[in-house]
Each structure stands twice: as C-alpha cells, then as structure tokens.
Structure 1
Amino acid sequence: MTRTHTHTHTRGAYDVARVRSHFPQLAPGAGLGAAHFDGPGGTQTPEVVARAVYDVLVGPLANDDVVTPAERNAGQAVTAGREAMADLLGADPGAVVFGRSMTALTMDLARTMARSWGPGDEVVVTRLDHDSNVRSWTIAAERAGATVRWLDFDPATGELDDVADVLSDRTRLVAVTAASNLIGTRPPIEAIAAAVHDAGALLHVDGVHYTAHVAVDVAALGADTYVCSPYKFLGPHCGVLAGRPEVLEGLRPDKLVPASDRVPERFELGTPAYELLAGTAAAVDFLAGLVPGEGTRRERVLASYAALEEHEDRLRARVEQALEALPGVTLHARAARRTPTLLATFAGRDPHDVRRALAAHNVNAPAGTFYAYEGARRLGLGDVGGLRIGLAPYTDDDDVDRLLDALAECLAGA
C-alpha cells in the first residue's frame, strides 16, 4: 500500500529533513533507519549531543574548581547545564538541580518535604500520573502519618477531575503531571496551581513528557517544583529539578557535612556528571535551533517549540485519522489538550504481538503500561496496557506512512 500526503509549510518553517540529518541512527543501513515512535520512553540522540559528552570526557577534567584547566572545564559544564535548562524551562539557573533521574530527584524531594508533615496533613496524587509522581509521595506521606487523597480522571475522555474536589485546609502538597506519558492528556496546570495555592499548598509538577513537546514556563504554570528528564528531549540520561528559589531555600535535604549547603548544590549528592550536564546544554541548543532564528536562546526555544508543536500536531492528526479507520482499533487518547502521543488497543489482539509485528517492519512502537500503573488500571488495561505511538522532533511523513502501512498489514492478518 502506497500512501500520499500533502502539507504546506507555514511561519517558522519546520524542515524535518534538516533536523533528521543530525541523527546518525536514522540513516538507512544495517540495524539503522527504523521509524521511531518510541520517543516517550527516550528519544534518539543527535550527534552534537554525543559530541558534547565526548568532548568533556576526553578533555582535561577534575572536580569543579578554578585553579587548573581541568577544574575549570568541570565548572563550565555545570554552569552551561544550569543556564541551558533555565532557558528551556523559563527558570532561575540558581534553582536548577541535576540528578541521576527524575524518579531519584522526586523521591529525595518527597522525603525532604515530608519532614514537615504529620497526622492530619493531606497530600494529593492523581491516577493519571507516572508512578514516580505517585509512589514517591504516597510512601513519604504514609511514613509521616499524613493522609493521601486521590484525584481521578475520566477514562472515556482522559480528562483529569477537578482538583478543588480533593483540596482542604490541610492539603500540604499536590503532585500532578503536566502531560500523561500514557495517553498524552495535558491537564490545566495553571488553573490547578491557582486552586492549590489558594488552599495554601504547594504544587509539584511532573514535566517529563510535557517538556518534550510544549514550551515550558515554570513560573507561568505556577509550579513550585518541576521535574523533567533530558533524555526525553534529545539529551543524555539524567534528571532535572527546577524550583522556585524560595521554596528550595526552605528545604533541608540530607547531605554530607563538607558538601556545599548552597542551593542548588544542597540537593545534588556527590560529584556531578559533568559530561551529562554538557550534553544537556547541547540538547537545549539543538532544540533552540530546530528552526532558524535570532534572539536569545530562550526566544529561539520558544520559536522552535511553536514550529515543533505545529509539525507534531499535523502528524498526530494523520495517525489518529488513519487509526480510527482501521477495524478493531480503540484509541485511548481523547483529551481536548494532549501531546502527540497515542495509546491504542486492538480487538482480539495482544498489543505486544502488534508491537512485534511492527518491529518486523522496522517500525518501533512499544507496548505496555509505561509505569503509568494507576492510569492503565483506570482504563481497564491492567498489566498488559496498549501500543504507544509517540512522535518526536525527527518524525516525518515517511515514518507515519511506514507505521500505518505496517499496522494495516498486521491487523489484516498478513
């Protein structure tokens, strides 16, 4: 089956061929050239990011200080990483924390915050979230004797329920995702933040999936703390926490006696992974250059993300329209605002079998629940889950053609 597609370029033209040219793994060849719809689990990495990691590791490197070139290289990597993430998130570079992963950062943050909780206090988590933004908080709350309250979502629409229904004058913190990694739902974070702050509580936002697709402004969202993972947006494997400086200043995490008590170093256990911070800075620079432009890096980030959203939304619409026409396919991504991430199930077919059939066509789309433990159960999908189709900055129409042709063949029993 041969598909045809047409589209027109608009303002801030998104040249996906130019973007793809920076990814060696997308080139045709032995073991390469797959159509990747697995970005929500971790994107492919552009060559410039790998080069930044390499350059730090092969250059002179020591612990961060100012006396030797090796020490200065380390310090420059730290500064570059913090400033880049601040530009990406609209945050203060002095309140950007790096860690091993988003999960590790969230667990540490929850343990630290929970020291001020006690019986009668309440913590709100949602059934829409990745388990790292659920269990981190429920474990900490239970150890402190605080009460956990659950915010549900409508399985028919994927929309989160009204947070006002679970708030009280005893609410201490609400943890919510800015975008579901399972079905793409983008809750109204700004409105949630207003309600949470009116109740006198703090808002923690999981931005792991959101940051890969939507321009972030932490202050405008109203997040008191916000976490994300650079490897979801073309960077290396690490985690980032950005917080309101006054919130972070008020927290006292466990630390070694001689370790710095300054924020953000207060939250970073051990020696930073200098090479990963350099790779993260390179990834942000790459994102800022998705479309040609001038201005500050922050301004270029915003322009690039505007073009990226338009590109991904167009491709998402193509995929949705085609899947809805295939027999026996159920799409679970139905929220009014959502990322270009679809979860599909197939009548009479195990999604893992569909995944394997796609892989035989060199199309990568994983199946499962993707640690959205509560969400998969709310949708009635248990431990099996569904097939997740996620778009990324390098996804093009040819990728979509390959996905749709392979799916049609698979579901036809070929």
Structure 2
Amino acid sequence: MTYDVVAVRKHFPALAEGAAHFDGPGGSQVPDVVAEAVAGTLTAGIANRGTVTAAERRATGVVEDARQAVADLLGGDPRGVVFGRSMTQLTYDFARTLGKNWGPGDEIVVSRLDHDANVRPWVQAASAAGATLVWVAPDPESTELSVKTLTSSLTSRTRLVAVTGASNLVGTRPDLPAIAAAVHDAGALFYVDGVHLTPHAPVDVAALGADFYVCSPYKFLGPHLGALIAAPSLLETLRPDKLLPSTDEVPERFELGTLPYELLAGTTAAVDFLAGLVPGTGDRRSRLVTSMTALEAYEESLRARLEAGLSGLVTMHSRAARRTPTLLFSVPGVPGQVVYAELGKRGVNAPAGTFYAIECSRALGLGDTGGVRAGLAPYNDISDVDRLVAAVADIAG
C-alpha cells in the first residue's frame, strides 16, 4: 500500500506551528484523535473500575480496551499487559521483583547499547542481591551489538539478559531472535526495551523471543505512559510488593494505585491511528502489521534521502546495517548544543546530547556529549528532510 503522508499530517495540529520535528525519539507529536480520546474520557462520567454503575463500567471498558490495543500492537496476550507511569518505572518495579530471587553467584547481563532505563534498574537490583553484573558492548566502529559477543557472556548462572530492541541514540537494531534463543538455551529470562523499536516497525513479541517487552505510548503518537507485556503464566510466578487490599490478579497485581483512564483511552486511540496509517481490511492486528510495514518502508526512504543529503557535511555516528530511521551526527568544528540551537532558530527541532543512553555514548567514544539526533516519525515528509539538510549545510558553513 502507498503511504499517504499528506493525509497523515492533517491529523497533527502541532504541525501548524511550522516546525520540522525530528525529536520523535524523545516523544512524538500527537494526532487529533488521541487528544479527543483523552479529553472525552476526562469529561465523561468515570469512577474506579467496577460493574455496578455506568461510570464504573466505563472505566473498566477503558482499561480492557487499552490492554487489547497494546496486545494487538505487540502481538501478545492482553492478559499480560501491565501499565505504569513510564518504561523506567515499570523496569524498576520488575527489576526489584525479579531481584528478590537472585543471590551471590547469579549473573545479570546488561548492554552498553541501551538507554539507561534498561541498564541502571538491573545494575542496582543486581547489587542489592549480591549478584554479578556482566557488561556487553557494541562495536565502536560499526555500532553493532554482536550476537557472538553477547552469547559468549552467558553461563549456567545467567538469570536475566536486558537488551534494547533498537538504540534510541544511534538506531542500531540487534538480532533479538538470535539473542533470545541463546538466552533461553542458558535458562535465563530476556527483557527487551522496545521503546524505540515499537514506533518504527511491526512487532511480534513471540517471534522476537522476548519474555518481557516494554514500550512507551508517547513514542508512538500516544500519551505519556508505559506498557509492559509478558506471558500471563510468567507474570503469575512473580510476587511484587503491593498494598494488602489490592487485587492479586494478573496483570493488576503489578499496577500500583488507580490507572490513568484518560491516558489509557489515548493509548487505544493511538494504536487505532497506527492501524489506519494505510487502508486495510481484517482485524486490528493484521491492519497494524500492514500499516507498520508500510511505515517502515516509508521512513527508510526518508532516512536514505537524509543520509545522502548530510553526506560530506557531518560525521555520522549511526552506522549499523540494520537500524531505525534515527541518525546521530556531529558537525565538524561546531559543538552539538550549538547545532541544536541553530537548527531551532531555523524551525528544525533536532536536539543534541546522549538522551539517557550514557553507556552507549561512552562506548562509541562520544563521552558524555553524544551528538545531534535526527529521528523520523510518521508525520515527517520530504520537505522536512530537505529543511534539515539545508539548515545543517548553512551551519556547517
């Protein structure tokens, strides 16, 4: 199917301000239907979940709809969808819960390719349990995370491996199925940070081999929220800290306090919007696969145009063979924060820094400075790309 970016852009009121947004990896712009869903839920009669009153039933429906929407997006079971304040909060919660069963001699593997939200919770949980932390790092030249490098770090004492689905800094997409197979052969669990992968490609958690897969709706056109998916049978084995009166049912036992119903409604609307990016038939899951496949191809074409335009103007730090449409670069002789500011003056939003991927930046030789990041999103078009290239050329002098 042809990807109609003109039709897509009409749903984003923020674009009327005139900026070219390349800041999607930090949080995407929001379509009108998502804002309407949030507002509609806030202004409707709502209550704590239940079945007696209309307000209670509405709240229950909002939660159930959101679980099904996320399950459809990720190819999993809605009974295994857990919502939280953010990916960071969810990962800390699960690290503390899983860490209760670790002890001296156990090994936890973390990656220097990752955002710190999929590093520090495991580092700290391992330390609290007296477990051994094992680091794996991307190749500084290719920015690839080698399957061989990672699997060579596994032993019979490995309890969990945490790896990103795609680097939010340089876009690298590790071979998750191959890593998962090795992790499971070692008898360990596989925790995947899908925050940066989910907005750019169709996701099937079973095919990826993830035991836990976590993402953030505000990166795929939704509101600020976190979502985790796992097999309900796996969640049943975990005992998180919780309030005494709160339910022990899965997945609710992992959700602390009342859920933000308006944000859940916005999440469902975002998933529905993604399912309709290109015309299609069938159930929502099949339409999502069709739409996300088309989006992936569209964004890849824009990435190729952007890279070609920036060639010779910048030092490119995103070099993996397989990656998301996210480019980290430096303009020779111009500090990244200066480039960021100058781009902003020209109506181009492309920030600079390490974006919380501090271990990745250091492993690639970029220290605590990082670079300028340009990330594509469903609403970007050729004119945005050309504006960025022209602005960089002007700044580069």
TM range (shorter): over 0.9
Q: 2:105 aligns with which of 120, 124, 134?
A: 120
Which structure 2 residues correspond to residues 121-200 of structure 1 after superposition, within 5 A? Answer: 121-161=106-146, 162=148, 163-200=150-187
Q: CA deviation at 1:246?
A: 1.7
One-letter amino acid of the structure 1 residue matched with residue 37 of structure 2:
A
Q: 2:350 aligns with which of 349, 359, 365?
A: 365
Q: CA deviation at 1:325?
A: 2.6
2:326 counterpart of 1:341: yes
Give the secondary structure class of the aligned counterpart of 2:119.
Answer: helix
Query: 1:390 aligns to what?
Result: 375
Q: 2:68 aligns with which of 83, 89, 105?
A: 83
Query: 1:243 aligns to what?
Result: 230
Q: CA deviation at 1:324?
A: 1.4
2:240 counterpart of 1:253: yes
One-letter amino acid of the structure 1 residue matched with residue 23 of structure 2:
D
* TM-score computed with the length of structure 2 as normaliser: 0.99
Q: 2:11 aligns with which of 15, 22, 29?
A: 22
Query: 2:307 aligns to what?
Result: 320
Equivalent residues, number: 395
Give the secondary structure class of the aligned counterpart of 1:66.
Answer: coil
Give the secondary structure class of the aligned counterpart of 2:89.
Answer: helix
Give the secondary structure class of the aligned counterpart of 1:344.
Answer: strand
Query: 2:201 aligns to what?
Result: 214
Q: CA deviation at 1:62?
A: 0.5
Query: 1:351 aligns to what?
Result: 336
Give the secondary structure class of the aligned counterpart of 2:394.
Answer: helix
Percent of residue pairs identical: 64
One-letter amino acid of the structure 2 residue matched with residue 296 of structure 1:
D
Residues 40-98 of structure 1: CA deviation (Å, up to 9, x unaligned): 00000001000000000000010011111111111111011000000000010000000
One-letter amino acid of the structure 2 residue matched with residue 370 of structure 1:
F
Q: Is the 8 A contact 2:343 2:392 kept in 1?
A: yes
Residues 173-194 of structure 1: CA deviation (Å, up to 9, x unaligned): 0000010000000000000000
One-letter amino acid of the structure 2 residue matched with residue 57 of structure 1:
L
Query: 1:5 aligns to what?
Result: none
Alpha-carbon RMSD across the aligned residues, in angstroms, is 0.6
Query: 1:67 aligns to what?
Result: 52
Moved more, 329-338 or 123-132: 329-338
Q: Is the 8 A contact 2:332 2:396 kept in 1?
A: no
Q: CA deviation at 1:165?
A: 1.3
One-letter amino acid of the structure 1 residue matched with residue 110 of structure 2:
V
Give the secondary structure class of the aligned counterpart of 1:211.
Answer: coil
Give the secondary structure class of the aligned counterpart of 1:185.
Answer: coil
Structure 2 runs not aligned, ≥5 long: none
Give the secondary structure class of the aligned counterpart of 1:166.
Answer: coil
Counterparts of 2:235 and 2:252 in 1: how far apart (Å)? 11
Counterparts of 1:164 and 1:98 in 2: how far apart (Å)? 31
Give the secondary structure class of the aligned counterpart of 2:70.
Answer: helix
Q: 2:385 aligns with which of 396, 400, 414?
A: 400
Counterparts of 1:352 and 1:221 in 2: how far apart (Å)? 36
One-letter amino acid of the structure 1 residue matched with residue 62 of structure 2:
A
Q: CA deviation at 1:323?
A: 1.1
2:286 counterpart of 1:306: no
